[in-house]
Amino acid sequence: MPNPLIVACVQLCAGPNTDANLATLRVSIAAAAGEGAQLVCLPEYCATLDEGPRGLEVAPEPEATHGALAALRAAAQEHRVWLSVGSLGVTAPDGRTWNRSYLLDPQGSIRARYDKLHLFDVDLAGGESYRESAVIAPGETATVAQTPWGGLGLSICYDLRFPQLYRALAKAGASVLLVPAAFTRTTGRAHWHVLLRARAIETGCYVVAASQCGEAPNGRLARYGHSLIVSPWGEVLADAGEAPGHVAATLDLDRVAQARAMIPALRHDRPFDVVREPTSAPERP
């Protein structure tokens, strides 16, 4: 297995203009590849993200004719990189939309797909409310993609709050966890760094999280930024801050086995039942 792996996270503020977003992504992919990145990671809804009268707008298209996917496949092939397309809106056969992540190889071929399992339906303080399920249909399966560097566990944004997913991905062979996101500024400031570091520590995996940043033209969907690359020991190796651009880090994949050998928590899981004691426990005889 090749070692190390040079990985880059691209950070942008995507809006409703898909062509403009793709132009920005192509520049960043080229820059990261030119600096030696072998795996370039893009954020959630990287090609189109807006909020209109009906809520979330992500310009869904069928996969077979998806213009943004075709453009990103061409970029992966042109720059000879593995490309994690954080997610795109993809039309499902029943007319609903999937929030779908892709892993592309250096030939531009699709090597893995993942449809977001957990949808962002929340009500925050100050009236900030989101209903991803009003537009998006949830996925049904988790995905570990095989690469020259081992398994990559795929996830998207709100999935980050469900540690059982990442534990399952690690046990299925993932040594690197991908978490493309468009984390809100409100929740990002409170939880982003601690959750990503926790997922790395719990699994002994590298965590690579490309995020959106900035505010959409309509002033909604303020995104936290701070794309992160985290080591299996929970160290932040790269932080993109709040501005568009990209960051990179070199992953020494031997550190995955080292972290898991020191703290073999994945092997220490035990089945258990949860007992709800009555309000007043009866006296024992």
Contacts of 95 (CB under 8 A, 6+ apart): none
In the 3-class helix/strand/coil scheme, how is 6-74 assigned residue by residue? EEEEEECCCCCCHHHHHHHHHHHHHHHHHCCCCEEECCCCCCCCEEECCEEECCCECHHHCHHHHHHHH
Residue 140: exposure state from Cβ atoms within 10 A (0-12, 13-18, ≥19): exposed
**41: number of Cβ within 10 Å:** 30
Residue 122 CA, chain-centre distance (Å), reads 19
Are the C-beta atoms of 9 and 210 separated by less than 8 Å? yes
Q: In terms of Cα–Cα distance, which of 239, 284, 272, 282 is closest to 11?
A: 239
Q: In terms of Cα–Cα distance, which of 116, 237, 137 is closest to 182?
A: 116
Catalytic residue among 13, 41, 46, 157: 157
What tokens appear for 256 in the block? 């995955």
Catalytic residue among 9, 13, 44, 213: 44
- The DSSP code for 270 is -
* β-bridge mates for residue 84, sequence order: 41, 103
What tokens appear for 203 in the block? 């699994």
Catalytic residue among 13, 61, 116, 205: 116
Active site residue 157: yes
Active site residue 128: no
**15: number of Cβ within 10 Å:** 18
Are the C-beta atoms of 201 and 107 separated by less than 8 Å? no
Q: Which residues are catalytic?
A: 44, 116, 157
